[in-house]
Amino acid sequence: MTTEASRAQDRGTSLWKPLVTILVIGFFFVGSLIVVVTFVVSSIGYSNNSQSCESGSPDNQAIGAVDDGLGVPEELHDEQLRNARIIDRTAAALGLSGQASRIAIIAAMGESSLINIDFGDEGQGVTNPDGSATTSKGLFQQQTSQGWGTVEQVTDPEHATKSFLLGPRHDGASRGLVTVSGWETGEITRVIHRVQRNSNANHYADSYGPAEKIIREAGIDVDRSADEEDQEEWRGTEARSPGDSAVAGGGTRGSVADLDGCSSDGGARAGVPGRTADGKNTYPWDAVTPAPGVYNVDPVRFFYGECTSYAAWKVNELMGGSPTDIIFDNNFGGHTKGNGGEWKSAWEASGWTVSTVPKVDSVAWWGPNGGAGVGAAGHVGWVDEITEDGRVIISEYNNSYYAPPGHKYSRRSVAIDPGQVGAYLYVPER
């Protein structure tokens, strides 16, 4: 996660994700009180988008949570009801259950207070993990610059709802709600986080109450059963072609693996089962790896014992290199890889394959604070194995959640859902 330039520790440090406070409406009277209604819009980052991810920060306040019992202006309340009904009709037309409507309404409440705003936090000093400006708009604060569509699309409530439910491609495979394993029964804020990738995975819990109030007022049946016949159209979407751009933690510019296979979670793509030829740790520099807090440059131009050093070694090894014959390093392909969180953009800039589909012997990538043990610098690991049910087993260095602190190897004993990884970076061809 750390490079010679930054020396940022890649463990569980918090990433402050600023909030943008926007005065949506001036003053209105409730009895003899003058009340200022303030909306707080959370930055979407890498498609909430950020993310990836994958990030501990002070809790973002859901816009809907500002309702303290005094009520909101009638015109805004009416819009909340109208947008909630659009979300519900869209989910029902796709054959999804009432729980999908509930989850989407809570997500929109947490992002925009169910108001279809045409702005986000641009111009407020908030940036994506790769340094680019955020472009969040609409009910779900989807970023136009991260593959979620045009301004017209992300501010069209029906289109934006389809994107949240089915993924940016509306295909049930490109990181929408239906690609999240166990989405109908999982903790709602965590399920939404897997799609939106807010800086705080618990952000949406504050919106449960306000959203349920709107759901009741709008007369929405959240106990509606799914209709599999209505799901056939989007579930039958053809596999993406290599020329398309994938969306994984905010979109990619590299090519996309065109792999078949759907998991039992309702559309999430699974990789081909298999494992590396040797499941043992092959990192060759443990003997010279320093203690925690000490950073020495290694032969692949990262720091010994960091996650980036290990992942770079594995790529180098797969490409036919050795400790004395380095093929892949920090500058290979003409683009510096940097911290773990920067690897995905470097892969894209080099035109290498970035995918949501796991592949044995590929780099597992997380954006800043994108998962357990992942800090503000992001993280990279290695896909050692894909199980028969499509789950992945990761090996890595310097993830304090799975190993003792400081430059230590770990191999996760429990396979994880592939969607828990921000993206998969395929090893480039020589």
CA 371, CA 387: separation in Å to the nearest integer? 21
311-332 as b/e: b if 16+ CB within 10 A: bbbbbbbbeebeeeebebbbeb
pLDDT under 70: residue ranges of the chain: 1-72, 129-130, 236-271, 277-279, 430
Q: Say what the pLDDT of residue 200 is.
A: 79
Q: Name the residue with tokens 């989910």.
A: 91
Q: Which domains does the chain have, with CATH numbers?
A: 19-235 (no CATH), 274-426 (3.90.1720.10)
What count of other Cβ atoms lies within 10 Å of the Cβ of residue 410? 19
* In contact, 207 and 195? CB cutoff 8 Å: no
Beta bridge partners of 322: 325
Q: Which of 289, 280, 334 is nearest to 309 (CA)?
A: 289
Instruction: Look at the pTM and tell me if it is higher than 0.75.
Output: no
Question: Which pLDDT belongs to residue 414?
Answer: 86
- Tokens 């807090």 label which residue? 293
333 near 352, Cβ under 8 Å?
Answer: yes
| Per-residue model confidence (pLDDT) at position 28 | 32
Helix, strand, or coil (residue 317): helix
* CA–CA distances in Å: residue 187 to residues 107, 174, 181, 419: 13, 21, 12, 16
Q: Rounded CA gap, 267 and 239, in Å? A: 11
**DSSP bridge pairs for 279:** none
Report pLDDT for 273: 78
- For residue 188, what is the enclosing H or E element? helix 188-196
